[in-house]
Structure 1
Amino acid sequence: MAMDDSESCGSRASPAEPSQQLRMHRKLEVYSEVLWRLRESGSTEALSPSFEDDLWAHFNRLPARYALDVNVERADDVLTHKRLLQHAQDPANRPIFDVRIVQMPRGDSFSNFSGEETLIHPPPTFGSSSNLESLTLEVEGHVQNGDRIPHSTSDLSRPMLEITFSTEDKPKLLSQLTTLLSEVGLNIQEAHAFSTNDGYSLDVFVVDGWPYEETDLLKDVLQKEINRSKKASLSVGQWSTMKENLESKEDFPEYIQIPTDGLDVWEIDTKFLKFQSKMASGSYGDLFRGTYCSQEVAIKVFKPELISLDMQREFAQEVYIMRKVRHKNVVQFIGACTRPSSLFIVTEFMPGGSLYDFLHKQKGAFKLPSLLRVAIDVSKGMNYLHQNDIVHRDLKTANILMDENEVAKVADFGVARVKAKSGVMTAETGTYRWMAPEVIEHKPYDHKADVFSFGIMLWELLTGKLPYEYLTPLQAAVGVVQKGLRPTIPKHCNPKLADLLEKCWHQNPALRPDFSEILETLQIIAKEECEDRRKDKSSGGFFSALRRNH
């Protein structure tokens, strides 16, 4: 799953590093406990001669994190997960789901004299373990990095339900499932997303917002919403069949029509395009290094088997936007191949790579002067985009590239959009760790969603850490929306920079600054830092020592 932190699952005999050995030991413990409990319960399935191997295969399909999060006291729920994954192999069943009540409302009639919570139904399958992957629901509130985050009082008055989905693992699946739950009025309080090593998903949501104690009606409502969604979009297989049977070229044109706005077509002549080496691979395509008319370029190639009507529209939107922008802090668009069977987008080659790779793969770090220079570059690029009514919608370190002169440039306009005339947009997009709360909640939003993402990205540059690294992406999203979760600003942070971070990720979009204000603030901080360094240098470090002593 594109948004999930996946782990590989080996066999019992595979060699492992110490941390992997610890996870393997824990997985074996959970597996053994679940096996014992199921046999003790008299489960017919558990008494089968092949069950032991089948159960181990189930645990091995899923990341080690699954065993860490399983509630062994609910061992029979592992059978439910196993069954859902098996049934999901049939395309006609997807997505398949299960619903059960896990907790009744808290109140006088449900509490004992000691004031402790009384559960009418069993606790959730997940979330009862002590690891930090779980966003636990405690009456007292949740604690993250020493900061207490209060729970909504609505948590105390509604039944809690656990909804488990299984389907084929695919891009944007988590977005689709959270949208589905939101559409039927449910609030996600806890979430666990797991990708199997053979292309399927197991996603567990603890939700509230359903006013009834029985679940049959909710199952019907969810199934109707799933059926409605299926009708609204064609699968890749259906599209391939439809493409073969088309009689009119207008339905599947030889070239995708890109709005011109009086500009040139920018169609790439493929005989001048040479591929060299693959640099990256993603859900929708591959990124290659190459040349076009002897100029070094990056070539984004969309996978032919995934080309659908929706992808054609997204491709046309991306090309349309990239052709409109010309700025030194935005990656330069060179051209595109618009034939549906082979869609390419060609841009300038950025030899410095992405900020994400520098921070998290190369384990690099920014000193404050370099950090400010990069942040100013990004702010200039984003200010230009917003002045031209373009909302990026997926601003993060992976989409900021560096050229040979260490100039930072905004890249990847795959989900960017021209701002609507109303000034607001809907529909969730982006990446959960950097996503604004209004986007996660499927509420109308505007360019200030990019400002929130910039604030998270700026914190990432400052600390060198992945935002909410102790949570899965979906759990981070739940924390941001339900608990007001934000990264912890380091104590040594420049006060003006700390203030800017808090303004950028303010809950209220209207109170977030524009990029013109952000740029001005960063330039002031950079100027002050430059003056301080000049004073330190001219005085042999006296002022620096004085500040340290006071």
Structure 2
Amino acid sequence: MFNLCHYLFTMSIDWNLMVFLIVLCGLIRYVLIQHAFSVHFKCVAFLLQAWSNHHSSSPTSDHEKSKIKYDPDHVAIPNDVTDVWEIDPKHLKFENKVASGSYGDLYKGTYYGQEVAIKILKPERVNSDLQKEFAQEVYIMRKVRHKNVVQFIGACTKLPSLCIVTEFMSGGSVYDYLHKQRGVFKLPTLLKAAIDVSKGMNYLHQNNIIHRDLKAANLLMDENEVVKVADFGVARVKAQTGVMTAETGTYRWMAPEVIEHKPYDHKADVFSFGIVLWELLTGKLPYEYLTPLQAAVGVVQKELRPTIPKNTQPKLAELLEKTWKQDPALRPDFSEIIEILQQIAKEVGDDGECRKEKSSGGFLSVLRRK
């Protein structure tokens, strides 16, 4: 496939990255292949060929590149890296539909033989706001690479067929496991899942990314039960001031400062994580007997929080209370949360408390004053 007189490449392999050094027409180029641990090696040639076609067939000036970026037939994505991520839809093979929503459908499929998830927006629902959300998700996802963040493969930005392609997570969402399959996390497994999420979120925060919609539905599991953070449609790169405004996310998991449209920072994600952690512990929907709006009013005006079951491991109960403090400054960072969870996991061990049944009491949300 390649003329080796023109291409020389070497590999440096990390856990999820492959970097290829290419000598092309006397110039050294670097190509980053994402998610290398699951990419079939036969795909590498295709990806490198795509890169060479993109970069060597007709060199473009900076002015020409800027014109391409604002092609009215494409959604404009800020072009600040040399990563090749634009996907030709003809190379995608759709298999079965995994999920469907108001604005798009999720399919299992393949891309050059690799199993992938394809999130495609419904053309009739695409408007300027949805285009902005789509562009934001692509912009953020192509920048992040961590074992606890769902791996971005590429995207189709040509209207009207907008789609995002990621690694396929065969275990589905934590939400479906808890609330549809009625699954139960034993304590050691719960702690492992919580640590996975915390590591993914810590990575995002270290890169100044606020997720803004952290909830069980946006946590996906692979075949090895590794939990990864997904769905960056409303995520944002933190402003230079460190604070942001505007309501976003989902009420049941939303921090009070976000509900109130107050300035907020990364600690809003910590609050949402606390609600998710309670959800993992109890298997219950937060504030299940309230409407989302009623829950939001209670969280802000009455400092409403879910009830922690009486049999909860003491340090875990303490962590829950810390994460959902009304004052964001009093909530721990994810680096601290990881340390606490790892310490609890050490104490519990692999044969820790096994919750064979979901606790029967204490799940109805109550008013709690801090």
Tell me whether the two structures share a fold, i.e. TM-score over 0.5. Answer: yes
Contact 1:287 1:298 (8 Å CA) reproduced: yes
From 476, 500, 504, give the equivalent of 2:323.
Answer: 504
Deviations 1:471-506 (A, max 9, x none): 011111111111110000011001100010000000
Q: 1:251 to 1:405 in 2, by over 3 A?
A: closer
| One-letter amino acid matched to 1:404 | E
Is 1:283–2:109 an aligned residue pair?
A: no
Deviations 1:7-56 (A, max 9, x none): xxxxxxxxxxxxxxxxxxxxxxxxxxxxxxxxxxxxxxxxxxxxxxxxxx
Deviations 1:370-389 (A, max 9, x none): 00000000000000000000
Is 1:475–2:301 an aligned residue pair?
A: no
| One-letter amino acid matched to 1:302 | L
Is 1:328–2:147 an aligned residue pair?
A: yes
Quote the offset at 1:252 in angstroms: 7.2
Alpha-carbon separation, structure 2, partners of 1:493 and 1:533: 12
Alpha-carbon separation, structure 2, partners of 1:390 and 1:337: 23
| One-letter amino acid matched to 1:395 | L
- Listed as ranges, the matches of 1:95-174 within 5 Å are none
Contact 1:389 1:418 (8 Å CA) reproduced: yes
From 279, 293, 302, give the equivalent of 2:121.
Answer: 302
Alpha-carbon separation, structure 1, partners of 2:143 and 2:103: 23
SS state of the match for residue 332, structure 2?
coil
Quote the offset at 1:531 in angstroms: 8.2
Kindly tell me the number of residue pairs found equivalent between the two proteins: 287
Q: Which residue of 1 aligns with 2:58?
A: none
Structure 1 residue runs of 4 or more that deviate by more than 4 Å after TM superposition? 249-252, 531-534
Is 1:461–2:259 an aligned residue pair?
A: no
Q: Which residue of 2 aligns with 1:412?
A: 231
Contact 1:312 1:340 (8 Å CA) reproduced: no
Contact 1:329 1:410 (8 Å CA) reproduced: yes
From 259, 267, 274, give the equivalent of 2:86.
Answer: 267
Alpha-carbon separation, structure 2, partners of 1:396 and 1:432: 10
Alpha-carbon separation, structure 1, partners of 2:160 and 2:206: 35
Q: Which residue of 2 aligns with 1:238?
A: none
Deviations 1:218-240 (A, max 9, x none): xxxxxxxxxxxxxxxxxxxxxxx
Contact 2:188 2:351 (8 Å CA) reproduced: no
Quote the offset at 1:367 in angstroms: 0.8
Is 1:360–2:179 an aligned residue pair?
A: yes
From 374, 388, 391, give the equivalent of 2:210.
Answer: 391
Q: CA RMSD in A?
A: 1.8
Alpha-carbon separation, structure 1, partners of 2:112 and 2:72: 27
Q: 1:381 to 1:251 in 2, by over 3 A?
A: closer
Deviations 1:381-401 (A, max 9, x none): 000000000000000010000
Q: Which residue of 2 aligns with 1:529?
A: 348
Q: Which residue of 2 aligns with 1:293?
A: 112
From 269, 280, 284, give the equivalent of 1:450.
Answer: 269
Alpha-carbon separation, structure 1, partners of 2:82 and 2:151: 16
Contact 2:78 2:139 (8 Å CA) reproduced: yes
Is 1:345–2:167 an aligned residue pair?
A: no
Q: 1:490 to 1:344 in 2, by over 3 A?
A: same
SS state of the match for residue 329, structure 2?
helix
Is 1:492–2:337 an aligned residue pair?
A: no
Q: Which residue of 1 aligns with 2:243?
A: 424
Contact 2:69 2:79 (8 Å CA) reproduced: no
From 314, 321, 338, give the equivalent of 1:519.
Answer: 338
Contact 1:307 1:340 (8 Å CA) reproduced: no
Alpha-carbon separation, structure 2, partners of 1:262 and 1:429: 28
| One-letter amino acid matched to 1:281 | S
Normalised by the size of structure 2, how large is the TM-score? Answer: 0.75
Normalised by the size of structure 1, how large is the TM-score? Answer: 0.51
Quote the offset at 1:257 in angstroms: 2.1
Quote the offset at 1:532 in angstroms: 7.9
Deviations 1:425-456 (A, max 9, x none): 11100000000000001111000000000000
Quote the offset at 1:263 in angstroms: 2.6
| One-letter amino acid matched to 2:215 | K
Structure 1, unpaired ranges of 5+? 1-248, 535-550
SS state of the match for residue 138, structure 2?
helix
| One-letter amino acid matched to 2:280 | L
SS state of the match for residue 157, structure 2?
strand
| One-letter amino acid matched to 1:455 | G
Deviations 1:308-355 (A, max 9, x none): 222222111110100000000000000000012110000000000001
Deviations 1:494-548 (A, max 9, x none): 11000100000000000000000000000000011118859xxxxxxxxxxxxxx
Q: 1:474 to 1:252 in 2, by over 3 A?
A: farther
SS state of the match for residue 261, structure 1?
coil
Q: Which has the larger radius of gyration?
A: 1
| One-letter amino acid matched to 1:282 | G
- Listed as ranges, the matches of 1:151-300 within 5 Å are 253-300=72-119
From 258, 266, 275, give the equivalent of 1:439.
Answer: 258
Deviations 1:41-75 (A, max 9, x none): xxxxxxxxxxxxxxxxxxxxxxxxxxxxxxxxxxx
Q: 1:275 to 1:509 in 2, by over 3 A?
A: same
Alpha-carbon separation, structure 1, partners of 2:118 and 2:137: 14
Q: Which residue of 1 aligns with 2:365?
A: none
Alpha-carbon separation, structure 1, partners of 2:351 and 2:71: 62
Q: 1:533 to 1:314 in 2, by over 3 A?
A: closer
Identity %: 78
Alpha-carbon separation, structure 2, partners of 1:408 and 1:390: 19
Q: 1:282 to 1:491 in 2, by over 3 A?
A: same
Quote the offset at 1:251 in angstroms: 8.4
Alpha-carbon separation, structure 1, partners of 2:80 and 2:70: 23
Q: 1:252 to 1:471 in 2, by over 3 A?
A: farther
